[in-house]
Structure 1
C-alpha cells in the first residue's frame, strides 16, 4: 500500500487549473488563498485515513514536469506561453501548504499559501481521497471487461444521439486505473463525438487535446477584489487579456446565472464562444441563454453551452433534444464515466474559502443556482445576497 502512488504525474490534474494558474501568475502574483475540504456526503473515513493520505501527499513533492510533458504542452496548448512553462518546469508541490486532521471518522483539511502555487492542489487531492476511500473501505476492484462494457454501452447511446462529449471525471474517479481504461475506450471508439478530456496527464498519454477553461475560484477571487456585482465581468475581461479569445467558454453560475447575464455584455457575449452550465435546471438555463443572445442580436446557433452538472445518458438525451436547432450543446461528463462501478459515489469538494487581497484576508463565497452547491460562511452568503439583491 505505502509504495503505491496514486498521482504519479504533475499533469494528473484538470486542465483549467493550469490555465487559471497561468493567469494568476501574470495578473495576481502576490495573491494568497485558503481552501477547505467539504464532506458534502457526510462520508465516514476509516482509521488512519489521514496518515495514509499524508503519505501520498508527501510523495507529490517529488513530481516534476518531464521534458516530454513540456513538449506535449507546447504542441497541444500553444496559448500557454514559454514563461509559464518555465514556471511549471520549476514547480514542485509543497506538502507544508496542506494540513490534514482526523478526529474519529471525520477528516478536516486546509490548504494555504500563494494562490499561484496552491491552485494545483484541489483536483489531485480529491482524486487521492476518492481512490484511497474505496481502497480502505474494501470496495472491490471491478474487472476491466465490465468497465469496457459499461463505457461502450454509454458511448453507443451518445453516438446515437450524435452529441459532442468530453470527459471531466478526475476529481471523483474510482481509481486511476479505471480512469485510464475509460479514456482508452473513448479515444479508440468515440470518434467523431468524443472531444477530449480535462485530465492533462491522460490527454498526454493518449495524444489528445486537453479541454476546459476556468473554475469558480477565478470569479470568487475577483469578487473579493472588486465586489460581487462586477466580479463576473472583470473576471471575463481579465481572461481575455491573457487568452485573447482562446479558451472562450464563460462560467455562468458563481453568483447565479441572472447576475452573470447582467455582466455578460455585448462585447463579451460576442467574443466568448459560449457558456458553461454547472447548476440548476438545464432547460431553464438554455432558454435564458438563448433569450440573452437574441436580445443582443447574436445568433445563438453560432454559440454553445457546455453542460457539466452531474450528467448521465438520460440527462444528455433530454437536454440535447431540447437544444437541437436552437443552440449548440456539448457535454462534460464526470464521475458517470470514471466512477460508475456499483459503489456509491463520493460527494466531496475542496473550495477556496478566503483570498488575501487588498492587504487583508477576505472570505469568499459561491452562490450557485441551487442552494446545496453554494459555499462560504453564512454571514458572507447573506451579505452577497443582499448586495446582489437575490
Structure 2
C-alpha cells in the first residue's frame, strides 16, 4: 500500500462518525441514504484524477480493525458498547457504494447504501481527495521545519489566552504526514491546552482519548423523518437515549440557531453540557446562548460552547475575550492546524442529500446560520424555510 497518501487504518476517521454509526445501528438500522461531494471552492481537478481516486478507494476494502485498535476503543471510548465494537471488528468498506465520474476538470461523487454502513465514508474520502489533489497537481507545501515553527507560535498564543483547543483537521488536511506532524507538536508543546484530537487513529498513536460532538446529518435525517420544526428536539432526545449524559454537546445550526433554541427546552438545556457553534456570528451566538440559559435559570458559567467554524488564533482571541466570566469556550481547530502550509486549503464537503423512508427517496437539507453553508435540493430548502418561517 502507498501509505504516503492513503488511509492506512480503519480508525483514520473522526470520532463523531463512529458515535453516529453506533446510534444509527441501534435506532435506524434499515435506513438507506445518499451523500454527494460538493466542490464549494470550484477547484479544477487534473486529468485522470477520478481513476487514481478510484484505485485508492478500492484499496480501502483491505482495512480491518486490528486487535490493538479494538482494545483501544474499549479502553478509551467507553460510550461505545461492546456490541458496536464487535460490529466494527467485522466492518469492511464496500467500494461499490461510491460512484465517481469526471467530466473535464470537475468530479462528481455519489455514495449510496445503508446509512449504517456508508456513514464512515465521508471523512477518509475527503482527506484522500485533498491529499491526492495536492499530489497530482504538484502543489508544494512549506517544509516541516517552517510548519513546526508556525504551529509553535500558534500554541504560544493559545497558552497566553489560557484556552483549551482540540484538533479537528482530518477532512481537509494537506496530508497524513502533516497531520501526524501537527499532532506531535501539539503533544510536545501544548499539553496544558490540548484537549485532544477528533481523529481516532492518531489519538491511539499518541495515547489520547479521542474527542468529538455530532454531525449535521443526524439532525437532517430527523427532519426528513419527523418534520423540520421538531427535528432538533427529537434528534437530541434520541442521542441522549443512546449516550445518557455522555457526548453531551448539542449542534446548534442545522436549521439556524433560532429554530434550535426553540427546541432546546429546559430539560435538554440542563442535560447537555453545552452547544457547538459552527456558523454565523459567534458574538451574537454567545449572547443568544447566555440569554437562553438564563431564561431557564441555568448558570451559563457551568456550560460550554465549542467553536468550530474556521477557527484561527485571531478568532480564538476575540471569542475567548468576549466569553470571559460569562461562559466556558473550547475551540476545535481544523484546517488552520492541518492545512496551514502555504497552499490554498480545499473548500470541499460531502453531505447527506437523500434518505429512503416510507418507500421513497426524500431530500434532506441543511440551512445553517451562514447562507453559503446551506446544502440540499433548492426546492426542499425553499419548503423548509417556509415551514420554519425563516
**TM superposition score normalised by structure 2:** 0.99
Provide the C-alpha distance between the structure 1 equivalents of 2:90 and 2:83, rounded to a whole number of angstroms.
Answer: 11
Partner of 1:74: 74
Equivalent pair of 1:5/1:56 in contact (CA under 8 Å): no
Residues 64-121 of structure 1, C-alpha deviation per residue, up to 9 Å, x if partnerless? 0000001001111001000000000000000000000000100000000000000000
Partner of 2:172: 172
- Secondary structure in 2 aligned to 1:372? helix
Provide the C-alpha distance between the structure 2 equivalents of 1:309 and 1:15, rounded to a whole number of angstroms.
Answer: 18
- Secondary structure in 1 aligned to 2:385? helix
What is the Cα deviation at residue 3 of structure 1?
7.4
- Secondary structure in 1 aligned to 2:133? helix
1:230 aligned onto 2:226: no
Equivalent pair of 1:65/1:88 in contact (CA under 8 Å): yes
Partner of 1:186: 186
Partner of 2:133: 133
Partner of 2:240: 240
Provide the C-alpha distance between the structure 2 equivalents of 1:286 and 1:365, rounded to a whole number of angstroms.
Answer: 25
What is the Cα deviation at residue 145 of structure 1?
1.0
Partner of 1:273: 273
Provide the C-alpha distance between the structure 2 equivalents of 1:207 and 1:16, rounded to a whole number of angstroms.
Answer: 18
1:203 aligned onto 2:199: no
Partner of 1:257: 257
Provide the C-alpha distance between the structure 2 equivalents of 1:133 and 1:332, rounded to a whole number of angstroms.
Answer: 25
What is the Cα deviation at residue 360 of structure 1?
1.8
Residues 332-382 of structure 1, C-alpha deviation per residue, up to 9 Å, x if partnerless? 000000000111110000000001122221100000001100001110000
Partner of 1:219: 219
Provide the C-alpha distance between the structure 1 equivalents of 2:241 and 2:214, rounded to a whole number of angstroms.
Answer: 14
- Secondary structure in 1 aligned to 2:34? strand
Provide the C-alpha distance between the structure 2 equivalents of 1:371 and 1:4, rounded to a whole number of angstroms.
Answer: 36
Provide the C-alpha distance between the structure 2 equivalents of 1:12 and 1:56, rounded to a whole number of angstroms.
Answer: 14
- Secondary structure in 2 aligned to 1:99? strand
Partner of 2:20: 20
Partner of 1:338: 338
- Secondary structure in 2 aligned to 1:129? helix
Partner of 1:50: 50
Provide the C-alpha distance between the structure 1 equivalents of 2:95 and 2:212, rounded to a whole number of angstroms.
Answer: 26
Equivalent pair of 2:5/2:128 in contact (CA under 8 Å): no
Structure 2's unaligned 5+ residue stretches are none
Partner of 1:286: 286
Structure 1's unaligned 5+ residue stretches are none
Equivalent pair of 1:5/1:59 in contact (CA under 8 Å): no
What is the Cα deviation at residue 192 of structure 1?
1.6
- Secondary structure in 2 aligned to 1:42? coil
- Secondary structure in 2 aligned to 1:219? helix
Partner of 1:374: 374
Partner of 1:99: 99
Q: Number of paired residues? A: 390
Provide the C-alpha distance between the structure 2 equivalents of 1:288 and 1:275, rounded to a whole number of angstroms.
Answer: 12
Equivalent pair of 2:53/2:132 in contact (CA under 8 Å): yes
- Secondary structure in 2 aligned to 1:354? strand
Equivalent pair of 2:4/2:177 in contact (CA under 8 Å): no
Correspondence 1:84-95 to 2 at 5 A = 84-95=84-95
What is the Cα deviation at residue 139 of structure 1?
1.2
Equivalent pair of 1:225/1:358 in contact (CA under 8 Å): no
Provide the C-alpha distance between the structure 1 equivalents of 2:102 and 2:111, rounded to a whole number of angstroms.
Answer: 15
Provide the C-alpha distance between the structure 2 equivalents of 1:133 and 1:115, rounded to a whole number of angstroms.
Answer: 27
Provide the C-alpha distance between the structure 1 equivalents of 2:12 and 2:278, rounded to a whole number of angstroms.
Answer: 22
**TM superposition score normalised by structure 1:** 0.99
Provide the C-alpha distance between the structure 2 equivalents of 1:103 and 1:359, rounded to a whole number of angstroms.
Answer: 32
What is the Cα deviation at residue 146 of structure 1?
1.3
Partner of 2:39: 39
Provide the C-alpha distance between the structure 2 equivalents of 1:51 and 1:354, rounded to a whole number of angstroms.
Answer: 26
Runs of 4+ off more than 6 Å: none
Residues 115-173 of structure 1, C-alpha deviation per residue, up to 9 Å, x if partnerless? 00000000000000000001111112432211111110100000000001000000000
Correspondence 1:115-134 to 2 at 5 A = 115-134=115-134
Provide the C-alpha distance between the structure 2 equivalents of 1:41 and 1:160, rounded to a whole number of angstroms.
Answer: 34
Equivalent pair of 1:203/1:209 in contact (CA under 8 Å): yes
- Secondary structure in 1 aligned to 2:355? strand
Partner of 2:108: 108
1:359 aligned onto 2:385: no
Distance 1:388 1:359, change over 3 A: same
Equivalent pair of 2:18/2:120 in contact (CA under 8 Å): yes
Partner of 2:307: 307
